[in-house]
Amino acid sequence: MTSTLKNNRMDLLNGSIWDKMLIFALPLAATSMLQQLFNAADIAIVGQFVGKEAMAAVGSNAPIISLFVNSFLGISMGANVVISRFTGQNNPAGIKKGVQTAVLFSFLAGIVVAVVGEIAAPGLLRLMDVPNNVFDMSLTYLRVYMIGLPVIFLYNFEAAVFMSQGDTRTPMICLTTAGLINVGLNLFFVCVVGMDADGVALATVISNIISSGLLFIILLRKKDRIHLEIRGIKIHGDVLKTMIKIGVPAAVQSMVFSLSNICVQSAVNSLGSDVIAASAAAFNVEVLAYYLLNSFGQACTTFIGQNHGANNIPRCRRITRVGLGLNMAITMTFSLILIIFAKDVLALFNSDPAIAEIGVIRIRTILIFEAGNVLMEIFSSSMRGYGNSLPPALITLIGVCGSRIIWVYTVFQASHTFRTLMIVYPVSWGIAGVALIFAYMRYVKKLERNTANA
């Protein structure tokens, strides 16, 4: 493999693609997986040392937290594309404005969303029909978690800055450090102090402060083009406008997934606390495959963002083809491994064999059809790299959210089982995936015609 790194930064505009994509995507996947594993530690620790009610309380909050966090994670992709584009144009002044805007906007926006989240927390949990026996514990967990939203948003935007330069290792190192502290604090607050769900939420907040703080310090000490200067830091309106234009449709796409998952989670909650606990544990296993496939999607966004800025459309198309091939091969292999060891992994969360049996249903039903999710991710992420975020958002709204809501209120009502409910995931991927392929092909052909006529 050819050396492509210099000071953790890659040349994405020249040379081979596949090796750079692996160097970019695998640390990013490892970062997301580690973050999820640390989140899974919350459920595993309360499941082993408190009980399945506490486990259900933490798990029932996953769709709500995903709604808040993923919405701004989508906007951070706008920051990634903008700074990547400035990089492809060799525009240091634009990069500086992009870094300043991303850092300050994310923290201020996090404060606003945290206040909204604290106020809306009880209503959101009631909307999801969280059972009464875990409601109070769920509410406490959610409210403590919301306090940490400003630093969670800050970390995601900081990571997007590093990602725009092809550096995914620095965020991984910072997150790993904070995550290990998170696990230690989980054990301390639950086993020593005697807290339950609120203890693991507090540990999560502290670890997020550490991870975002480490990246902030590194940005201050950087000597290259993403160096952050505190003096004169401000939000640049023109840059923010472009970030929002690209990022908001991506945020809407993420929110659509989260909203549809809230609908599905509400249906899960109707099946009782055992199913809630099992689904929460299984989610923390099968989502690892999603983070792997998502890392190749983010690679496509960043690589295309830089090359589109350099006006190299043929290379952009090659990036999509390479990303699709690598993503499909690696994700499906990893999914098979998770399916084989599903029961063993689920036993780490709770010793009740009934919980494991239910959890296996979710893992097998979703991971067998993960290829559909790969298609969705690559083609939507590629279009986002060109700055064309609205079509994927609309397709996701109709194909994913629409189909899942219809399924829950029709098919699931006719066959009120957990297995029937889980089938909605591959069905929605298939519908949206086919539409995204056609939208991508149409957009790229139009782009090539415009470039040729320019």
307-334: per-residue pLDDT in tens?
998 889 999 999 999 999 999 999 999 9
Q: What are phi and psi of 10, to 5 degrees?
A: -110, 150
pLDDT at 454: 60
Tokens of 90: 């060799």
d(CA 181, CA 205): 11
* Residue 141 belongs to domain spanning: 14-453
Around Cβ 305, how many Cβ atoms within 10 Å?
Answer: 28
| Overall number of domains in the chain | 1
pLDDT at 2: 37
pLDDT at 4: 40
Instruction: Name the residue among 104, 90, 33 with its Cα closest to residue 292.
Output: 33
| Structural domain contains residue 307 | yes
| Structural domain contains residue 113 | yes
pLDDT at 237: 93
| Structural domain contains residue 9 | no
Low-confidence ranges of the chain (pLDDT < 70): 1-9, 453-454
pLDDT at 284: 81
d(CA 209, CA 205): 6
Decide if 183 contacts 175 (C-beta within 8 A).
no
pLDDT at 9: 66
| Structural domain contains residue 311 | yes
Tally DSSP H helices, then E strands, for the chain: 19, 2
- CA dihedral sign of residues 26, 31, 32, 38: positive
What pLDDT digit, counting tens, does each position of 40-90 carry? Answer: 777 778 777 777 777 777 877 777 887 788 778 878 888 998 999 999 888
d(CA 12, CA 21): 9
d(CA 316, CA 300): 9
| Structural domain contains residue 87 | yes
pLDDT at 5: 41
Give the containing element (helix H, strand E) for 14: none
Q: HSE on the CB side for 79, CA within 13 Å?
A: 31
pLDDT at 314: 92
DSSP for 70-103, written as a single string: HHHHHHHHHHHHHHHHHHHTT-HHHHHHHHHHHH
What CA–CA distances, in Å, run from 39 to 92, 204, 283, 293, 388?
A: 37, 8, 11, 19, 32
Instruction: Name the residue among 428, 436, 370 with its Cα closest to residue 402.
Output: 428
| Structural domain contains residue 5 | no
| Structural domain contains residue 4 | no
| Structural domain contains residue 2 | no
- What residue spans of 128-233 are helical by DSSP H? 132-147, 149-164, 169-187, 197-221
pLDDT at 231: 85
Tokens of 166: 């092809």
d(CA 281, CA 286): 9
